[in-house]
Amino acid sequence: MDSRAMWVRIKTRRWVSSFSIVATLAVGILIGTVVSFGVKGKEGQKSSDATPLSVPSPKQLSNQFSQIAKQLGPSVVNINTESTIKTQRRRRGGQMPEDPDGGGGMDDFFNRFFGGPGGQGGPGGDNSIRERSLGSGVVVDPKGYIVTNRHVVEKADRIRVRLQDDPPGVQHDAKVIGQDQETDLAVIKIDMDRPVPSARLGNSDSMQVGDWVLAIGSPFGQVGTVTAGIVSAKGRDIVPNRQFQTFIQTDAAINPGNSGGPLVNLDGEVIGINTAILSETNAYAGVGFSLPSNTVVQVYNQLIGPDHRVARGSIGIEFNSVENPAIARVYGAGTGVTVSFVVAGSPADQAGLKAGDTINSVDGKKVAKGAELVADIASRKPGAKVQLGFLRNGKQQDTTVTVADRSKLFAARLNEDETSSDESTPKQSKFGITVRKLTPEMADRLDIQSGKGVIVQDVKGGSFAEDIGVGRGDVILEINKQPIDSEADFAKAESSLKSGQDVVFLVRPRGASRQDGTIFMAGTLP
């Protein structure tokens, strides 16, 4: 007898033994008096007094979930994208740096839920591969308009949509109507000769912790999958300093492929778009996040407009997204929003605001939290003037600030050309990367003692940065000997360089520790 057969038998015996214990306990609960006296008998004993079993007629039990699934199912679509990307150049030594946590940790930081490489790829010509990925979406207009996540369709050469009632193999080509990087939402459209089943959007503010919800989508490509759970929490900030992303947390199972699909309440209304999970394995771990429908509606209505973009007001300041009483005590602020950074040349800078000032009113209306300030300013049109009250060194002061277009003010961060005349079309930077200021939390996590530098959020395929080896998660400390400590520093250095000039980045590679040191990445700007 071979070892494998032995293992199977041993395992089977253990299973039978365990099952017997469970079965005995179950019987003991049901007919305890019989068990206590024992049961006698042999195989083949007469059973003429036994009553045959039968299957009862189908009953209409609690069917609210199934009714919602039938109602919403046809409006939930499977999205298949294809894109051609350049293969990643390997760093010196032939290996890419690994994540400091052995996988998962840094990916949670950057991949933003199923944002990594898609499923199967194949040759696509000169140093490129054909990348395929799967996601979900929900039809919100019978004319074929679909809401999904931006990262599902980002950089796709071809987008195809499969409806649940489509025959096998039938898919519909879709085009991107608009996308918003700040909320990771996108609107796509398929052209049909008939109305498409569409979903109703609900008011996410009406949801309470503990309310039942369903998640519908295509996890792992399994079209039309429905999972149930509750609202676990509201107003979750899961990405540091993301000012327009607070999420509904749910324990409804969400997995790769659910991204862009709807979270639905028991009235059959979409109250969220499934966007992220918290997991060390990139699979369901009981914590998922959906972008609230109220945010979805605001973004959607602008993306389908003439400009196909979301315009938000900004004055050019940053502050801690998590309130800390120690800040208020040190700066003597009381209530309000204490400024941690002022963008050089921004409206706030021109109005005289400085780091350490605490904004406590907008046009005479009290402001206590950062979310309130952002919501107010973001809703105002660029060019509008606003009166800000603020506290500096214990003294109350006022200033007038002219609201700017956020997409232009933070052009480097948002991957848009600040001087673009066509505001509806995002432009790529000269280097082909987007960066973000290194927060204290990031510096601590990445083991960067000085806290200086900017972290690379995205690298465009075929760009100058990719050609010299820059990747997501790298920390850029210097460009041509100039320290880079903010997006403004990065933008200034980038704008000063022209085609044909040498560019040298001093970089702490992703996953490297202080002991590993820094490296140069250099090339000539095309």
DSSP class per residue in 427-484: ---SSSEEEEEPPHHHHHHTT-TT--SEEEEEE-TTSHHHHTT--TT-EEEEETTEE-
Report how far residue 497's alpha carbon sits from residue 480's, in angstroms, rounded to the nearest whole number: 10
Assess whether pLDDT exceeds 60 at residue 53.
Answer: yes
In the chain, the number of structural domains is 3
Can you read off the two tokens belonging to residue 353? Answer: 């605001």
Of 222 and 250, more confident: 250
Where is pLDDT greater, at 68 or 461?
Answer: 68
* pLDDT of the residue at 179: 93
> What average pLDDT is seen over the chain?
77
- The residues assigned a catalytic role are 151, 184, 259
> In the Cβ-directed half-sphere of 55, how many Cα atoms lie within 13 Å?
1
Pick the closest to residue 72 from 228, 248, 206 (CA basis). 228
Q: What is residue 55's predicted lDDT score, i.e. its pLDDT?
A: 83
Residues 173-215: tens digit of each pLDDT: 999 999 998 889 999 999 999 999 999 999 999 999 999 999 9
Give the pLDDT score at 159. Answer: 94
DSSP of 282-316:
SS--S-EEEEEHHHHHHHHHHHTSTT-S---EE-S
Domain, as residue range, for 516: 414-524
Say which amino acid occupies 59.
K
Tell me what the mean pLDDT of segment 33-40 comes to. 46
pLDDT for position 49: 84
Here the tokens at position 167 are 């025959």
- Interval 411-426 mean pLDDT: 41
Q: What are phi and psi of 501, to 5 degrees?
A: -85, 150
Q: How confident is the model at residue 331 (pLDDT cuts 50, 70, 90)?
A: confident
Asked if residue 54 is part of any domain, the answer here is: no
Residue 39 inside a domain? The answer is no
Question: What distance in Å separates the CA atoms of residue 207 and residue 192, rounded to the nearest whole number?
Answer: 34
- 451 assigned to some structural domain: yes
Q: Is residue 117 part of a domain?
A: yes
For β-strands 519-524 and 502-508, DSSP reports them as: antiparallel
- Gap between the Cα atoms of 402 and 390, Å rounded: 16
pLDDT digits (tens, 9 = 90+) for 268-287: 999 999 998 887 777 788 89
Q: What does the pLDDT read at residue 243?
A: 59
- Please indicate, yes or no, whether residues 317 and 287 belong to a single structural domain of this protein: no
- Is 113 a residue whose pLDDT tops 90? no
Q: Same domain, yes or no, for 387 and 453?
A: no
What is the pLDDT, as a whole number, of residue 35? 42
The pLDDT assigned to 92 comes to: 40
183 versus 28: the higher-pLDDT residue is 183
For residues 377 and 421, state if they share a domain: no
**Which of 248, 283, 310 finishes a domain?**
310
pLDDT at 140: 96
Q: Indicate if the pLDDT at residue 133 is higher than 80.
A: no
> Looking at residue 240, what is its pLDDT?
52
pLDDT value of residue 24 = 29
In this predicted model, which residue has the larger pLDDT, 433 or 63? 433
Residues 356 and 443 in one domain: no
- Regarding whether 252 and 178 lie in a shared domain, the answer is yes
CA distance 363 to 366: 9
Tell which wins on pLDDT, 297 or 87: 297
HEC states along 232-248? EEEEECCCCCCCCCCEE
Same domain, 276 and 420: no
**What is the pTM for the complete model shown?**
0.59
Per DSSP bridges, beta strands 385-392 and 358-362 are antiparallel
Q: Look at residue 119 and tell me whether its pLDDT is greater than 60.
A: no
Mean pLDDT of 219-245: 80
CB 320 within 8 A of CB 440: no
Question: Which pLDDT band holds residue 400 (cuts at 50, 70, 90)?
Answer: very high
pLDDT band at 511 (very low <50, low <70, confident <90, very high): confident
Q: Quick one: how far is CA 311 from the chain centroid?
A: 20
Same domain for 296 and 351?
no
Rounded Cα distance, 313 and 336, in Å = 19
Q: Give the residue among 407, 200, 190 at the shortest CA–CA distance from 296.
A: 200
Weakest-pLDDT range from 56-60, 164-168, 283-287:
56-60
Q: Specify the 3-state DSSP secondary structure of 484.
A: coil
Taking the mean position of all CA atoms in its chain, how far away is CA 46?
66
Domain assignment present for residue 7? The answer is no
Confidence class for position 336, pLDDT limits 50, 70, 90: confident
The answer to whether 384 and 402 are in contact (CB under 8 A) is yes
Asked if the structure places residue 226 within a domain, the reply is yes
Check: CB of residue 227 under 8 Å from CB of residue 252. yes
Q: Phi and psi (nearest 5°) for 226?
A: -120, 130
- Say whether both 139 and 260 belong to one domain: yes
Q: Which one has a higher pLDDT value, 57 or 93? A: 57
pLDDT above 60 (res 366): yes
- The residue with tokens 């033994």 is 17
Query: Residue 201: which of 259, 135, 262, 251 has the closest Cα?
Result: 262
What is the percent of the chain with per-residue pLDDT over 90, rounded to a whole number? 33
CA separation for the pair 168, 166 (Å, rounded) = 6
Mean pLDDT of 156-165: 91
Domain boundary among 310, 327, 347: 310
Query: Across residues 457-474, what is the average pLDDT?
Result: 87
| Residue 350: exposure state from Cβ atoms within 10 A (0-12, 13-18, ≥19) | middle
Pick from 93-97, 157-161, 488-492: least confident: 93-97
Residues 502 and 381 in one domain: no
Residue 137 has pLDDT above 50, yes or no: yes
Q: Is residue 81 domain-shared with residue 163, that is, in the same domain? A: yes
Q: What pLDDT is recorded for position 422?
A: 33
The residues pairing with 359 across neighbouring beta strands, listed in sequence order, are: 337, 390
pLDDT of 129 = 52
Identify whether 263 is part of a domain. Answer: yes
Least confident of 166-175, 330-339, 421-430: 421-430
Based on the fold, state whether residues 103 and 233 are members of the same structural domain: yes
Share of the chain above pLDDT 70, in %: 73
274: phi > 0 → left, psi -120 to 50 → alpha, else beta; which?
Answer: beta
Neighbours of 516 (CB within 10 A): 12
pLDDT over 70 at 428, yes or no: no
Which one of 278, 310, 342 terminates a domain? 310
pLDDT exceeds 80 at position 131: no
- CA pair distance 297, 147, nearest whole angstrom: 10
DSSP assignment string, 18-76 = HHHHHHHHHHHHHSHHHHHH-----TT---TTPPPP-PPPP-----HHHHHHHHHGGGE
**Which residues lie closer than 8 Å to 431 by C-beta, 6 or more apart?**
463, 464, 465, 470, 494, 503
CATH number assigned to the domain comprising residue 216: 2.40.10.120
Interval 330-354 mean pLDDT: 84
- Most confident option among 238-247, 330-339, 378-387: 378-387
Judged by average pLDDT, the poorest of 121-125, 175-179, 193-197, 388-392 is 121-125
Is position 35 within any domain? no
DSSP state of 204: G
- 224 and 113 share a domain? yes
Looking up residue 384, the CATH number of its domain turns out to be: 2.30.42.10
